[in-house]
Structure 1
Amino acid sequence: MQEDIQKAVKVIKSGGTFLYPTDTIWGIGCDATNSKAVNKIYKIKERSRLSRFIVLLDSPAKILDYVEEVPDILWDLLKSLDSPTTIIYPKAKNFPKNVISKDGSIAIRIVKHEFCQKLIHILNKPIISTSANFSAEPSPVVFKDISEELKNKVDYIVKTGRDKMNKSKGSTIIKIKMNGEFEIIRP
């Protein structure tokens, strides 16, 4: 795993894209703070630039580096989560425009997957996470289901976790409204 992480970090720091396992499904990622790298993912996925991606962090302590404020109740929620949950925060900061939604929000998941945690910790930057498929196609549950065409478009493919079955769906998504209320977008 360590060699995989080192290779992925090198690719990410050079502005490249990579295919990797997450705590939900296989994903395509890059440095979430690198606008050019993010544009590469839009091109790879053939995705509308109006749609935004999820950003992964390795620790709740880093959230305030990327959002203006977090309601106090959310800190307790983050501690109690036992399944992958993405939270959409209002008032994103320190991201390029092509990562932040038109309304100024950002979708962040604190990842509990060992590979992702170690990678993000060493990189010391958030990474983009989007399903390893072309837009409008089903998300692959196992590595072998990822199309060869897509595999050929990324700069690096992680070897770790190729033989494991991931969850068959993405994360739960919760949106924090400006008034502090929560809305479940995807259970």
Structure 2
Amino acid sequence: MDINKEVHHAFEVIANGGIILYPTDTVWGIGCDATNEEAIKKIYALKQREESKSMIVLMNGEKMMYNVFKDIPDVAWEIIDYSEKPTTLILDKPRNVAPNIIAEDNTLAIRIVAEPFCFKLMERMKKPLVSTSANISGQPTPKTFKEISPEIIKGVDYVVNLHHDKICKNPSTIIKLGLDSQVKVIRK
């Protein structure tokens, strides 16, 4: 399937408040526009997940990061530049995203992606993309498209038709960074 066609279809669904099932640089994800509170509620409902458990937001570069965070510690850029595998950063005081994606401690987990589909979709959206593993909360994270439950596949508005045969790597490393540049590894 053509990546540009898939970006177009996914964009149309997201622009209309829908949620998609899509391949990321790590595992299959469920996503939507990170500024759309109602779409985010749909993901929480589908995953049967408490809204107090925040989700990751994907971004496609520095410009998008500065739109969401006024202050980004220098160490964040060093981690992004030197990480050899996908790394999620938890940063303080996000803005310009839906309130129900922000954690109770006023932080947001973000990851810059290079995966072509995700990158091109966000380029088109001009907004960050919610990303949460394609499973019901508490169940194992699927490593392949075939492992995704029918309930999840039926529950989204669009399934991206790319990489259905890909075996996913592990979820990303998660590092929490305070504005005081304190670093805490949450998941290796």
| Structure-2-length-normalised TM-score | 0.96
Residue in structure 2 matching 1:41, options 24, 35, 43: 43
Name the SS for the 2:186 alignment partner: strand
Cα RMSD, aligned residues only:
1.0
| Residue in structure 1 matched with residue 158 of structure 2 by the alignment | 156
Structure 1 residue runs of 5 or longer lacking an equivalent are: none
| Structure-1-length-normalised TM-score | 0.96
Residue in structure 2 matching 1:21, options 6, 23, 39: 23
Matching residue's letter, 2:127: K
Residue in structure 2 matching 1:143, options 138, 142, 145: 145
Distance 1:76 1:179 in 2: 15
Matching residue's letter, 1:36: E
Matching residue's letter, 2:137: S
Matching residue's letter, 1:124: K
What's the offset of the Cα at 1:104? 0.7
Residue in structure 1 matching 2:57, options 55, 58, 69: 55
Matching residue's letter, 1:152: K
Mean CA deviation greater in 95-104 or 24-33: 95-104
Task: For residues 57-108 of structure 1, give each alpha carbon's deviation from its aligned partner in whole angstroms, at most 9, with x where no partner exists.
Answer: 0113321110120112322322222210000001111112101111110000
Distance 2:139 2:74 in 1: 38
Distance 1:60 1:184 in 2: 22
* Structure 1 segment 38-117 matched on structure 2, within 5 A: 38-117=40-119
Structure 2 residue runs of 5 or longer lacking an equivalent are: none
| Residue in structure 2 matched with residue 179 of structure 1 by the alignment | 180
Please say if residues 46 and 135 of structure 1, whose CA atoms lie closer than 8 Å, have aligned partners that are also in contact: yes
